[in-house]
Amino acid sequence: MRRAAIKFAFGTAILGGGVTAAAVATSDDPSTTLKICTIVPLRLLRDSFTVASVVADYQYSCWGLKQGSTEWLKAKHEAHERSAYKLQELCFRNGGIYIKLGQHISQLEYVIPEEYVRIMKASMLKRCPVSSYDQIRNVVIKELGGPPEKVFQEFDSKPLASASLAQVHAARTHDGQKVAIKVQHTHLTDTAVADIATVNLIVSFLHWCFPELDYRWLVHEVSESVPKVILDHKNKLLRSKTETSLLEILNFALKELDFLFEARNSLKCMDNFRKLSPHLARNIYAPKVFWNLSTSRILTMEFMDAPEITDVRAIRRLGLEPIDVSKLVSHAFAEMIFKHGFVHCDPHAANMMVRPLPSSKWNIFGKKKPQLILLDHGLYRELNFSTRINYAALWKGLVFADVKAIKDNSIKLGAGEDLYVLFAGVLTMRPWQKVVDPSADHLVIKGNQDDRAELQMYAAQYFPQISELLRRLPRVILLMLKTNDCLRSVNHTLLQGSSLETYFIIGKVASEALADSKRITCEGSAFGMLSFWLEMILVEVRFLCLKIAMHLLQLKKAIDSH
């Protein structure tokens, strides 16, 4: 193992230099290429020595200790923590896509050791790199034709927030409207594709050295987070018969990374709610885009004065209940996934806000209805009809503990006959015996220490199988898993666990989507329509029973708490 680590460090460093030399030699603009390609060997050098250090740490920390012993477990825990901090430092130093990688890791509780999840979760969403005001000013001048102090009546030089791809500043237009300005990090377009390449190289080489560590699926998942235009052009170049240099790929990224694509996604999302989910449309909101002040690298939006979706105290101060917010989030994303087929795939806490529904009146209990504000519309994916319907049928099967439906639809989605049980567990974060338990609350996660310990135990026990499952699943399903993980994390913060009502909503919307698809196929056939309506009555009866069970459980909890 030590030899493999040394081989890895030196091999990647030499390869990084070779990539740079080749790109410079084949480019029509050697000076620009040299400037860009110095990124690759530097990142490879950092990556390789970090990985080598982590491998050596694990080897020597557990040297001579009996696997499973108290001493071994303690040493492994300490090595996990040290290694997680090393990876955190690497992500911060490299920035860009590496921050996205860290964010993904923070949500992979079913694969990654708890120490990595905890350390990444505490840092990756709140401590992203920040571009200097001079850098931001230069972008505004280039994109909008003048400095911020002239283009806007007011412009706050201190960012409100910073993410892996951009940062946000508050400003005021000359007609007095308060806006949020999203400005792309200046280094992003120079590094995005190069970062994908270096991360892919690191993970592939690591798998070659240590076959039991197969995280190649994670690279594909992180790649999906890169704005679609970069990957489209990269894939076109890679599929072409002509030779292409790294500079060509990066130049496409430089030209085509477009915030207007994000703006159009927000319009399409809202349009889908108005047309396909009108009963929910007023409760979902996306900030208005100021098109005359937006370009490929700057997005000017309506300023939203609202708390983050997981700020429970602020939510209560607004007269809202966390359970109502949780139900709205679950309902909104269930509609997107099962009915719209156009899904916001990055719904972590920093990308959602909540406020009382404008113009709504206080009800008799003194509470207002919530309105969900969706931010950062850069990462959407479309589900084709068969994927959407199979995924809906799978979730309906999970809610009703229908073993046949779970198996059949898991296989259709790519899990295979050998891993469908594991797929159900990854989706629900529950062991198989709980997934198929007929009790109403079989999918509910309490979020206590016992649940977390059980989850980590299964993750460790079935690590190779989980890795294989995630490798074989289609990329769009991996993104659904990521979306699922983000929503679970938000609900856990709002409710300190999950709620039966969440699964009731998911099952209900999934069933409605399936019913719509069947109704269309049965039109024109009297027998088919009769069969359809009988099935719908049966589904409604099952949901009525589930709702009664839910209320009985809530009543029991209320009695027990007193």
Q: Which residues are marked as active site?
A: 346
Collapsed DSSP state (helix, strand, coil) of residue 484: helix
Would you say the C-alpha torsion 519, 524, 526, 527 has a positive or negative sign? negative
Contacts 24+ apart (CB under 8 A), 397-403: 398/424, 398/427, 398/428, 398/435, 398/443, 398/507, 399/443, 399/503, 399/504, 399/506, 399/507, 399/510, 399/546, 400/507, 400/542, 401/435, 401/436, 401/437, 401/438, 401/442, 403/436
Q: Virtual CA dihedral for 104, 110, 112, 114, nearest 10 degrees?
A: 110
CA–CA distance, 328 with 367 (Å, rounded to integer): 15
What is the token pair recorded at 10? 């030196």
Please name the residue that has the structure tokens 């949780």.
Answer: 326
φ and ψ of 549, to 5 deg = -60, -40
| Closest by Cα among 119, 118, 113, 159 to 139 | 159
Find the helix packing angle between 259-276 and 322-335, rounded to 10°. 100
457 SS3 class = helix
Radius of gyration of the chain, Cα coordinates, nearest whole angstrom? 25
Sequence-distant (6+) residues with CB within 8 A of 293 are 144, 151, 173, 179, 181, 300
Task: Measure the CA–CA gap between 475 and 552, rounded to whole angstroms.
Answer: 40
Q: Write a three-state SS string for 295-356.
A: CCCEEEEECCCCCECCCHHHHHHCCCCHHHHHHHHHHHHHHHHHHHCEEECCCCHHHEEEEE
The secondary structure element, H or E, covering residue 427 is helix 420-428
The helix (run of H) or strand (run of E) holding residue 275 is helix 259-276
φ, ψ for residue 373, nearest 5 deg: -105, 120
Say which DSSP state 378 is in.
Answer: -
Check: CB of residue 150 under 8 Å from CB of residue 120: no
Burial degree of 358 (CB within 10 A; 0-12, 13-18, 19+): exposed
Burial category of 46 from C-beta neighbours within 10 Å (exposed 0-12, middle 13-18, buried 19 and up)? middle
Q: Residues with Cβ < 8 Å from 13, sequence gap 6 or more?
A: 41, 44, 45, 48
Let me know if 461 is exposed, middle or buried by CB neighbors in 10 A (0-12, 13-18, 19+): exposed
Q: How far apart are CA 201 and CA 209, in angstroms?
A: 12
